[in-house]
Amino acid sequence: MAALLWFRRDLRLRDLPPLLAAADDGDVLACFVLDPRLEALRARRRLQFLYDSLRHLRDALDGRLLVTRGLPEHQIPLIARDIDASAVHVSDDFAPFGARRDTRVRAALGEIPLVATGSPYLVSPGRVTTDDGAPYRVFTPFFRKWQEIGWHSPARSGPDSVRWLDPGSVAGTAVQRCDIPDPGVRLDLPAGEAAAVRRWGDFVRDGLQRYATDRDYPDRSGTSRMSAYLKFGAIHPRTMVADLDLRHRGPRAYLRQLAFRDFYAAVLHHRPDSAWGNWNRDFDAIETDTGDDAQQLFAAWKAGETGFPIVDAGMRQLRATGFMPNRVRMITASFLVKDLHLPWQWGAQWFLEQLVDGDIANNQHGWQWCAGSGTDAAPYFRVFNPTVQGEKFDPTGDYVRHWIPELASADDAHLRKGQRPPTYPPPIVDHGLERAEALRRYQRVRES
């Protein structure tokens, strides 16, 4: 007897329930399918992190990882039949793309079952509902119910808990093996399960207790940088939660962010159309700018040339590293939709192209929170003042000075005193005027 273990967003061997389920079926062949639709994405950093993660997984398996390229609905049935698999085992995938893919693969497998065990979440989408079975529309009651439902302890899986098949045992000539690509992108974050476990351990020791406050201050490196590892399943959140002492404020704040991750996954699961459309359809009527002038403003925002230091610092960090702290993501997103009046989808697309940790549920619904069109959205009248936000969360100006060389020697990095170096661009908009315009547009939607 043999089983096929198909890796997707679960690139690890520890705390991996489908690995244990596959082991119960006999010898196990591990595989990964390079889907050309994903390879075509303009997200080179994220692809680099994925491929690096695959290389680490292959090494952990002593080379016993079959990597092939093609549509999964073609490749997975071929591999499963070549090894006479009794089942194909996976972690469940609830994102719209993954759900559609799995439906096609399940149909193509015919009598061979596609067995989903576990998911990338603490509590899988669809499990946290109101008493009448409806999905939650607001985070706070979701969070209470989420904690009541709870989650399993980490699964006791590992590389030695399975009898692995060598990829050379795949006899069929129709299954084409391929090398793991290398786009040649330089990342500031090492990939793989060992790196994830090591970084989490360092954060628990040195950053977790300060997380509740430091996470909002980009000059303090107060975030854990675990989001990319969670995105590709190099570590499961169960493993992380086991280290949280919830008697303390920092761990409680961190748990809340993991709950937000589950919440947004659930929102997208119940409303797949909200990946690119407004969750609150009333906001389909919001007036946005899309002409040539709007495109020029968008280009300045992407380049970090808006003349607002905290916005530009964040956008330059994103372009240089593929990362931006969450507080700065909110500031830059608010600026795009409420100061520049551009569609949130433009910003969401740019973030997905740049971010190493780009996740469709977190990214899209974080943007909709800022735009006012999502669940638990920021009130329409909340328009971040980028200068005030910069002074509050980067009080020393060190974050701005680091990412904007033109302001490296400025006494007032946030330019509140108006001493603007000639090499740094002037503001592309007047925040006070654009705030009033944003409120006018939002009020019209509210009234309608």
Q: How far apart are CA 186 and CA 236, in angstroms?
A: 25
Predicted local confidence at residue 173, as pLDDT: 59
Q: How far apart are CA 17 and CA 238, in angstroms?
A: 12
Q: How far apart are CA 216 and CA 213, in angstroms?
A: 6
Question: What letter represents residue 333's amino acid?
Answer: A
Decide which of 338 and 39 is more confident: 338
Q: What is the pLDDT of residues 409-436, one digit of tens each?
A: 999 999 988 689 999 999 999 999 999 9
What's the average model confidence in pLDDT over 73-80? 96
pTM higher than 0.85 for the full model?
Answer: yes
Predicted local confidence at residue 377, as pLDDT: 72
pLDDT category of residue 172 using cuts at 50, 70 and 90? low
Q: Which helix (H) or strand (E) holds 203?
A: helix 193-206
What's the average model confidence in pLDDT over 42-57? 97
For residue 368, CA distances in Å to 280, 290, 343 come to 9, 18, 10
Binding residues: 211, 223-227, 254, 257-264, 357-359
Binding residues for FAD: 211, 223-227, 254, 257-264, 357-359
Q: How far apart are CA 374 and CA 211, in angstroms?
A: 26
Give the 3-state secondary structure of residue 89.
Answer: strand
**Tokens for 78?**
């071929």
Predicted local confidence at residue 381, as pLDDT: 76
Q: How far apart are CA 446 and CA 63, in angstroms?
A: 58
The answer to whether residues 82 and 170 touch, using CB atoms and an 8 Å cutoff, is: yes
Locus of tokens 């969360």: 393
The pLDDT of residue 176 is above 90: no
Q: How far apart are CA 124 and CA 101, in angstroms?
A: 18
Q: What is the pLDDT of residues 197-215, one digit of tens each?
A: 999 999 999 999 999 999 9
What's the average model confidence in pLDDT over 403-410? 96
Predicted local confidence at residue 320, as pLDDT: 97
Among residues 384, 390, 385, 386, which one has the least CA distance to residue 412? Answer: 390
Among residues 132, 133, 6, which one has the least CA distance to residue 65? Answer: 6
Decide which of 431 and 169 is more confident: 431
The pLDDT of residue 159 is above 90: no
Q: Which residues contact 244 (CB under 8 A, 6 or more apart)?
A: 208, 251, 252, 254, 255
Helix ranges (DSSP H) in 324-419 = 326-334, 344-354, 360-371, 386-393, 398-403
Q: What is the pLDDT of residues 225-280, one digit of tens each?
A: 999 999 999 999 999 999 999 999 999 999 999 999 999 999 999 999 999 999 99
DSSP β-ladder status, 2-6 and 85-90: parallel
Q: What is the pLDDT of residues 280-318, one digit of tens each?
A: 999 999 999 999 999 999 999 999 999 999 999 999 999
The answer to whether residues 384 and 431 touch, using CB atoms and an 8 Å cutoff, is: no
Domains for the chain: give ranges and CATH numbers: 2-119 (3.40.50.620), 121-154+194-270 (1.25.40.80), 281-447 (1.10.579.10)
Predicted local confidence at residue 160, as pLDDT: 86
> Residue 272 burial (CB < 10 Å; 0-12/13-18/19+)?
middle
Q: What is the DSSP letter of 373?
A: -
The answer to whether residues 373 and 380 touch, using CB atoms and an 8 Å cutoff, is: no
Q: How far apart are CA 10 and CA 157, in angstroms?
A: 13
The pLDDT of residue 170 is above 90: no
Q: Which helix (H) or strand (E) holds 102?
A: helix 96-109
Q: How far apart are CA 115 and CA 205, in angstroms?
A: 37
The pLDDT of residue 378 is above 80: no
Instruction: Please state, as a whole number, how many other Cβ atoms lie within 10 Å of the Cβ of residue 210.
Output: 14
Predicted local confidence at residue 171, as pLDDT: 63
